[in-house]
Amino acid sequence: MTQAKLAGGRRIRQNKRGSKTIVKNAAQNNYLSSVQTLNNKIIDMKDNDYLKFRDFSTKLVTAVAEGMRRDDFKDRKEFKVFKENRISYLYKLLFTPKDQIKIVISGDNFTKIIKTFSECGVESLERLMTNLYHCINNRTYDQVDEAKEYNKESFDESCNILGVEVKEKILFSDVKKGYEDKLMEYIDETEKKVEINKAFMNIRNQYENYLKTLENNTV
């Protein structure tokens, strides 16, 4: 359908469908540019910093997932699918593996996003992306973590997740190997990889105080 408009004394026919396509293409280009900027920051992060960011960003994604309602979706059936596993739904939609450790923002999901979410839903995702960007820029993820205190129960539980035997003295090299092996085992399962990363980071955070506890117990 077209609509005639007057300009400079001449009738110019503007194609509404063409205008919408131009707007959509511009929005998609802006989205891809933002994704690339954010991904570059993620890729440039050292693994140590990335794991902190990953843990912190999981909380941001979870907060958005838990806050989404029916009016954030265009289709009722799609909302029902989302409710079956909110966090997994967003991870599969928004993220894609970069390597064995890092995941980045997917760049080929723009059409899916605008077809799935209403305006308010899209705005929620835009805020999430903005928060992730500022999280890296301002190092919000690098907070003082009380979890560095050694806690035998959580430490042992994390070892079990990584398949590391809980023995008299646990070597960090064994922890790292267990971590890498589990990542390979669950290479296509995003949620499981999140759990594995959290377990590894929990052990890493507590490891120094774990060693101090061992030394004190042997004195």
Q: What is the pLDDT of residues 73-99, one digit of tens each?
A: 999 999 999 999 999 999 999 999 999
**Are the C-beta atoms of 23 and 114 separated by less than 8 Å?**
no
**Are the C-beta atoms of 162 and 175 separated by less than 8 Å?**
yes
Q: pTM of the entire structure?
A: 0.57
Return all residues near 134 (Cβ < 8 A) that are at least 6 apart: 140
Q: What is the pLDDT of residues 4-42, one digit of tens each?
A: 232 344 444 445 555 555 555 666 777 888 899 999 999
Domain ranges of the chain: 15-137, 146-218
